[in-house]
Every structure is written in structure tokens, then in C-alpha cells.
Chains A and B, each alone.
Chain A
């Protein structure tokens, strides 16, 4: 892995993303893409952010956190309070949502990340539920009936948040810090023995993941007109988990692809929600039985574009082995 410079693949992806972003904006302005498509696009963007943020926690650092929807809730409600109750502008809401979610991540992470495997999973599930129940009992934000939120999301917001999320997490991963996290995933005891403060990095990954889930929450809240505690239960956490798992644990491009595909599929199946869940769950089971490494395994999409280069052989290999 080369943290020294970004490879051409990385810059290409950024340029591509910006170009796509601009093209889509034109399509929206020209009303070629109607609200059905734009809504789907916003949802794709939100799900990409969620998937990538969870990927950092589970895929890169190996911490099996299945309460991610809790951070989504914190971000959503925080942003809603900022705009609806405090009358501040949307960008402030987004940033504050991320920060508050990050703080929640810190508070939850420090005690729970001492646990391993199954216990960590259940603890995060528990905390996710606790966060939901807290909002359920908060009359200030509408309790069980929820809170209505003005629609403020536009395409530029979505695409910029997506790009920022991906860039930040990629940069983190392709550095000694990301390596430390992967070392923890691969063999925590050895990582300890190599001088890595494993608790610190587990918490850092958790906090960064929570931050971006909070950002996604802000986008979510200002896109769906109303937020209710029932939106943020563990079924939502499982939805996000499925994205990361199907994409391949350890592959960020896998998470992105899975987010895009599954959002599109579930949008088309939205008239048949039970069918969607039955299919989802079957796919999950079948995946784990026959292809547990998901779509991409731990590879990144840039690996597929390197076929020509490896033929030259060589010591200086700028293949991203991680992201």
C-alpha cells in the first residue's frame, strides 16, 4: 500500500465523481430527472455515506458494530433541532450533527470497544436501541410521533457530503493509521505487541464512523419531511450492515457498489416491502453460505484496473491493497 502519493486511480475516481455530479445537476436542472429519480439519488448518497462509515468500523478495523442506526438517529435529531428549533442554517446542522454523533460514538465506544466479537455486537445493538428509546421519550422532539423537518436537501449537498466522506475515509485508510486499524482487524494481540494503542484506534475508527453516520442523519432528516424513532431501530442497523457485508468486508468500493445496487433494488421493490425483506434475508444467508467475502472480498475496484501494470512486474507497485 502506498500512502506516499495517491495513485492515478484515486484522482481519476475523484474527477469522475465530480463530473458525474455536475452532469446529474444539469439533468436535475433541466428537469430530465424527475423527483422519483432525484429522491432515489439522494437516498443512494445517504446510503453510500452510511455504508462507507460502517465499513471503516467493521471492514477496516474489524469491530462488529451493529447499532449504527443509533448514530444516524443522533445526527438526524440533532440536525432537526438545529434547523427547526434553533433556526440555524442547514450547513451548520450538518456539521453539528456529525460532531454530536461523534461525541456519542466516543461515549459509547470507550466502554464497549473493550469487548470482543459477539459481546461487542450485542453491546452496540443495545446502545443503538437505547439511543432510539431516548428519542422516543423526548417530548422536545415529538416523542413517538416524531418531528417534521423542512426539506432542505439538494443534490450539491448530497454529492459533496458523499465525496468528502469517501476522501476522508480513504485518506485515513491509506496511512499508518489505517494500517494500524487493519492490523487490529487482522490480529489484535499482535497489533498490541507491535506498539499500537489498540483501544485508541478502535475508538478513533468508531468516532469517525459515527461522525459520518451523523452527517448522513442530517441529510436523512432534511429529505424525508418527518423523522420518527421507529425509523432508527435495529432493522435499520441491519440494513446498513447488509450493505457492508454484501459489498465485501474490507472493501470500500464494495460498500459503495452495494449501497448503489441495493438502494436501487429496494426502491423498485418499495411497493412490496415484505418481498424485499424476504429476498434480502435470503440473499444474506446465501451469501454467507457460498460467498462470505461478498462482492469484492477485500479488493478494491482499482485492483481490477491494474491488470496491465502487474505484467511489468516490479518493485514499485502502486496498487492499493487497502483502499
Chain B
């Protein structure tokens, strides 16, 4: 029983990271119908910025987190303006290919600048482990959960209680109508990228603290898995990304614990295939038919 709970705790910790990244995917897809392949690399950049903040500037976790989120927000907006905005009316394939290009550029640019070797994350978590009912919840897990919950609550607040959130919802519903209503679509899209990227940056810092090692290609697999999580929950649907991320994290933990650790990366893809074949709209999604 303790094992079970332990795995669930592990799964939720992992899943929170997936959820934070998945939110960025789902918000961007919801608003511009683009799979932002580079999103996983923003996560990576966030991890590195956090690392440099802590190691070279001797900042604490929370300042490092904030800086990383801010920097990633700007980074995400830059990417959108430079590479995606010009292609807003192009074919989906062109946008997808560009996103792939941006992703590769960030990855190999980072390798070019600092090499491909992994980097150890300093252990700066100020919290102690918690022991409840025989289950050990590490300080890192508590931190992840706390930060994730705070960020997700913040996100819900922004999306549902602020003007920009309303604008985001309007634009993802119908871009042209929103434009006619006087909403500045470009700024709204930028804001969406900013928020999504900030969340990814936070996830990066948290990841570094939890797994204590980061490298330039670290964003690829978690990025793909987070995307699967977003699809699982229903792409474009924010609560879906949260649920999808947590669910995927838990499933993965269980598979790993059951002894199939080499297959753990495969879990996400199997889930993806199953979802796409059985319920492509995702857990929370609705089926939208193409107009003939």
C-alpha cells in the first residue's frame, strides 16, 4: 500500500512538470492551431537560466524561478514574433516545419555555445522530507507540488478573471470575430506565448531541482510527453492539460515501478496512439468536423 502511494506521489511530481509544460502547448494550440515544437526547448532554456542564476549569481530558488519565468516569457514572445507570426496564414505544414527548425536551432545553438555535456543542478531545496503513513515525500516533491499548484491557480485566475484572459479565450474561439470586437489579436497571441513559456521555464527550474541534472537535449522527450499529455486532456483545453499531465506522470511511474523502465518513454507514445485512435478529441474535448 505504501508502495502504491509512493508511486502516486512520484507520479504526481513528475506529472506536475508535464502539466506545466503541457499548458503552454495547449494554450498555443488553442489560439493559433500550431504545435509549438520548440516549447520543450524553452523548458530546457528555463532550466539553464535557473542554473546560472543560482550558481553564478548566487540567487535563491524563488528569485531564480522568477527570473527564469520572466526570461522564458520574453524568449517565447520573441520566437513567436520572428518565426511564427509571418506564417500565420501559411499552410499548417509550413508552420510545423518552422517550429521543428526553431526547436533544432535552440537545441544545437545551446550545444554550440556550451557543449552537449550534462550539468549538475545545485541542491538548494530548503525543505525537508516529509514522512506520512510510512511514505516519504521528499522536499523536492513538496516544492514541485507547491509551485505547480500556485502557478496553475494563478493561470486559472488570469484566464478567467482578467481582461487578457478573456481576450485569449475570445481569440482561440474565433480570431476574426475577436478582431472585429476590437481585441488586439497580436498582443493577445504574444501574451499567450509569454504565459505558456513562463510556465515551461518554471517547469525547467523545478525539473533541475528534482532530477539534479540538465543538458541541452533535455527538452525533447519531456516536450513530446507533455504534448501527449495535452492531447490526452484535449488539446486547447486548459484543465485538460493539467489533468493529462498528472495522469501521464502517474501512469509512467506505475509502468516504471512495475519493472518496465526501459519502456517508460514508450508509455507516452502508446497513450498517444490510443488517444488519437480511440478518442482524438481527448478526455475533455469535443469533436469538430471540417466544413464541407
A288 & B272 in contact (Cβ 8 Å cutoff): no
Q: Determine the distance from Cα of A277 to Cα of B96 in the docked complex, in whole angstroms.
A: 18
Closest A residue by C-beta to B271: A126
Closest A residue by C-beta to B93: A64
Question: A149 CB to closest chain B CB, in angstroms?
Answer: 23
**Contact for B92 among A117, A277, A284, CB less than 8 A:** A117
Indicate if B83 sits at the interface (CB-CB under 8 A).
yes
Indicate if A311 sits at the interface (CB-CB under 8 A).
no
**Contact for A129 among B86, B97, B262, B266, CB less than 8 A:** B266
A284 & B273 in contact (Cβ 8 Å cutoff): no
Indicate if A256 sits at the interface (CB-CB under 8 A).
no
Main secondary structure of the interface of A (DSSP, over half): helix
Indicate if A125 sits at the interface (CB-CB under 8 A).
yes
A112 & B276 in contact (Cβ 8 Å cutoff): yes
A278 & B83 in contact (Cβ 8 Å cutoff): no
Encoded as 1 (CB less than 8 Å from any A CB) or 0, chain B from 70 to 96 comes to 000000000000010011001111111
B87 & A274 in contact (Cβ 8 Å cutoff): no
A129 & B92 in contact (Cβ 8 Å cutoff): no
Q: Give the interface size bracket for B toward A.
A: 35 or more
Q: Determine the distance from Cα of A249 to Cα of B96 in the docked complex, in whole angstroms.
A: 14
**Given A130-B269, A130-B270, is A284 in contact with B109 using a C-beta cutoff of 8 Å?**
no
Main secondary structure of the interface of B (DSSP, over half): helix
Encoded as 1 (CB less than 8 Å from any A CB) or 0, chain B from 255 to 292 comes to 00000001101100110110011001000000000101
B90 & A292 in contact (Cβ 8 Å cutoff): yes
How many residues does chain A have at the interface if contact means C-beta atoms less than 8 Å apart?
Answer: 39
Question: A229 CB to closest chain B CB, in angstroms?
Answer: 11
Closest A residue by C-beta to B113: A274
Indicate if B35 sits at the interface (CB-CB under 8 A).
yes
Q: Which residues of A contact B103 (CB under 8 A)?
A: 281
A274 & B280 in contact (Cβ 8 Å cutoff): no
Since A117-B92, A238-B100, A289-B86 are in contact, a sample of 12 more A-B pairs with Cβ atoms closer than 8 Å, ordered by chain A residue number, is A130-B269, A130-B270, A133-B266, A189-B290, A274-B112, A280-B104, A281-B104, A284-B101, A285-B83, A288-B87, A288-B90, A289-B83
